[in-house]
Structure 1
Amino acid sequence: MDPLTSDQTRLAGEQRRLRLQVLGLNSVEAEATFDRVARLAASFTQAPLAMVNFINDERQMFRGMYVPPTSPDDKANTDGRGIVFDLSDIAREAPSDYGFCPHVVAQGSQLALDDVFDYPRFRGNPLVNDMGVRSYLGTPLRDNTGMILGTVCVADMVARTWDRKLKEGMQELTETLLSDFKLRDSLLAQQQELFAVFDGAPFPIMLTEGPNHLLRYANGKQGAAFGMVPQFSPGRQVLTGLEAIGVFNAMDEAFHTGQTTTLPRASISTYDSPSPQNFSFLCTPVRTSPNAPVSGVLTVAMNAGQQFYPGNEQRVFAANVQERFEQLGSSGFRGTIPGQRG
């Protein structure tokens, strides 16, 4: 059986997806660090295409990429090694079984193809027909725990020899990213301190990310009142009770306007009470810096009969949390400390 289609490989892909979610890498957005590594890989190997590629069980995400400039004066486009089509930001992803990188991840070792046509297993790969790739060198990209997250790879449109020096250089370049992964894990530890504040709060709190309100964290009070749901799931699809009373509409407004919104009084049956309870919901947009776009929404629920934080103190709590997220910077949504599990 092809290892790329085995149950074991699919399970590994799911584990990678969870790790990438925790590290804040499970998306296709370009990142300067990875683009820089791709550019260095292209320069070091003199290859016209280079990528830093993260792979989960669903897709490949080229968060780092280098392609030659499209200017007609550029030599890379006049020597027969140009890219057949432009790889722009909208093309920074591919199916999980496309190309050669999934083979690198599956076998857990460097893959060097001097001439793809010499390998019956690889010469029919869609990457050959779609982009004219003739040679490829891919190196497993491991994080600081040893897990393979994807590859750092280069490709050329002509057959060529990937000698020992190039192979070793690619391995060393890949290892430079270990410090980035260590930093992300360190920042996760700082998040733990922030979420400890959530755990100690006497009211339900949840933190969501993006326009689909992916659940990144919820404290125990949130789960006890409104239900235990899986992390990283679209909130309005799994918290149907909150959706029915309009909480997610208020969160939509907060996310898209960048202004705090309230749902002042809503009745909902909770899991920890036999009768419906009246709650007010404060939805605060969260940014990683004062001028950054909105990253998510912090939603604080208050039971109308149990105002632990009367008056404006509900807003003060949310403002303090926002300040902590700004201190964390762009790491603020790089994973969460488990607060709920499905």
Structure 2
Amino acid sequence: MNPLSSSDQANMAGEQRKLRLQVLGLNTVEAEATFDRVARIAASLTKSPLAMVNFINDERQMFRGMYVPPSSPDAPMTGGESNGIVFDLSSVAREAGNDYGFCPHVVAQGSQLALDDVFDYPRFKGNPLVNDMGVRSYLGTPLRDNTGMILGTVCVADVKPRTWDRELREGMQELTETLLSDFKLRDSLLAQQQELFSVFDGAPFPIMLTEGPHHLLRYANGRQGSAFGMVPQFSPGRHVLPTLEAIGVFNAMDDAFRTGQATMLNRASVATYDMGLPQDFNFLCTPVRTSPSAPISGVLTVAMNDTGQSYPGSDQQAFAANVQERFERLGAGGLPGGPAPGHH
């Protein structure tokens, strides 16, 4: 058997990292207070005008934590100096391609990267980050989870050359390691969530959990699969569940995700795969957060059969209310939103 080429190894590592980020609920660009706070601390620690907590999958970089200085030209920089370049956080994208900046190099080499002056390195001098934001120096530290996998970086940058001394490099390493507790918590809550999903598995009506504004399928119980079709994990719901898209379920999920309020789609008629005949369902769409302070991360959708052919509607409503209550109680502790093993 031929050994994998370096590019194949890199692609495989990127796919594994993407899967881990999906499981942890981190494979999106939405800002999160914990990571923004770490970015601010990194900027303060190193007196740098730019800092990020950056997660990297096989397709893009996602800056879920970011610090840039005030947008006023007269405002002092973190280090007490004005650098002549004004950053505006509202205009800075929270994502970039994997050819942008220096963080992908940190992930690829698996070790800290300190560039005192980017212009001293021909391979880095022409990077778009240098031209777009005037970056001249950079310090990036691998961000490892509690399993040892590198998920991205915690990095700082300046618009002037500077020396990243040993004390600063060690300080950034220690700061990065403080996020281990966050990853451990997410894994712990994943285990709790999987226990909760065991309740969903036996439910007499369809239940699915989706992630993000594009409603990627994270979990579906058996009834969901038999009624509306089995689909792969992390696939975009709108595209793989066309019958639900046609009757407006994903529009209701859009409303729940956008407003943060539970949304009900009443008496929507759809022919299920197992019955083959049109049946009326009430779809309850409940927004889900990764933690009380985090943005909405997904939607829990429960489809309650309203035809009365199989089981009493009052039982469905009671079960749905119980599911919603237990899910929200778990989410109040920082639900990361991961799939139960073996379900898709």
TM > 0.5: yes
- The structural deviation recorded for 1:179 is 0.3
Paired position in structure 1 for 2:330: 328
Please, which of 291, 301, 305 is the counterpart of residue 302 of structure 1?
305
Paired position in structure 2 for 1:21: 22
Amino acid at match of 2:36: D
Partner SS for 1:60: strand
Please, which of 189, 192, 204 is the counterpart of residue 191 of structure 2?
189
Paired position in structure 2 for 1:264: 267
* Cα separation, 2, equivalents of 1:107 and 1:293: 32
- The structural deviation recorded for 1:30 is 1.7
Q: How does 1:86-165 map to 2 (within 5 A)?
A: 86-88=88-90, 91-165=93-167
Paired position in structure 1 for 2:3: none
**2:71–2:87 Cα contact (<8 Å) kept:** no
* Cα separation, 1, equivalents of 2:256 and 2:36: 32
- The structural deviation recorded for 1:277 is 5.5
Amino acid at match of 1:337: A
Please give the per-residue CA displacement for 1:277-328, whole angstroms capped at 9, x wherever unaligned.
53524323235599998741422243846533x1322122121122122212
* Cα separation, 1, equivalents of 2:294 and 2:169: 40
Q: Is 1:286 matched up with 2:316?
A: no
Paired position in structure 1 for 2:238: 236
Change (3 A) 1:250 1:111: closer
Change (3 A) 1:285 1:180: same
Partner SS for 1:128: helix
**2:186–2:335 Cα contact (<8 Å) kept:** no
Change (3 A) 1:290 1:26: closer
- The structural deviation recorded for 1:84 is 4.8
Percent identity (aligned): 72
Change (3 A) 1:82 1:290: closer
Where does the alignment leave 5 or more consecutive residues of structure 2 unmatched? 1-5
Paired position in structure 2 for 1:6: 7
Change (3 A) 1:339 1:318: farther
**1:278–1:305 Cα contact (<8 Å) kept:** no
Partner SS for 1:312: helix
* Cα separation, 1, equivalents of 2:173 and 2:194: 33
Please give the per-residue CA displacement for 1:238-264, whole angstroms capped at 9, x wherever unaligned.
012333455445545665674542443
Amino acid at match of 2:225: G
Paired position in structure 2 for 1:200: 202
- The structural deviation recorded for 1:196 is 0.7
Change (3 A) 1:220 1:157: same
**1:286–1:325 Cα contact (<8 Å) kept:** no
Paired position in structure 2 for 1:55: 56
Please give the per-residue CA displacement for 1:77-109, whole angstroms capped at 9, x wherever unaligned.
984535454233652221122000010001111
**2:70–2:87 Cα contact (<8 Å) kept:** no
Amino acid at match of 1:299: V
Amino acid at match of 2:46: T
- The structural deviation recorded for 1:172 is 0.9
* Cα separation, 2, equivalents of 1:218 and 1:51: 34
Q: Aligned residue pairs: how many?
A: 334
Q: How does 1:303-318 map to 2 (within 5 A)?
A: 304=307, 306-308=309-311, 310-318=312-320
| Worse-superposed segment, 179-188 or 55-64 | 55-64
- The structural deviation recorded for 1:175 is 0.5
**2:304–2:316 Cα contact (<8 Å) kept:** no
Change (3 A) 1:44 1:224: same
* Cα separation, 1, equivalents of 2:293 and 2:318: 20
Amino acid at match of 2:90: S
* Cα separation, 2, equivalents of 1:267 and 1:44: 57
Normalised to the residue count of structure 2, the TM-score between the two structures is 0.86
**2:252–2:263 Cα contact (<8 Å) kept:** no
Partner SS for 1:26: coil
* Cα separation, 1, equivalents of 2:67 and 2:122: 28
Change (3 A) 1:249 1:141: closer
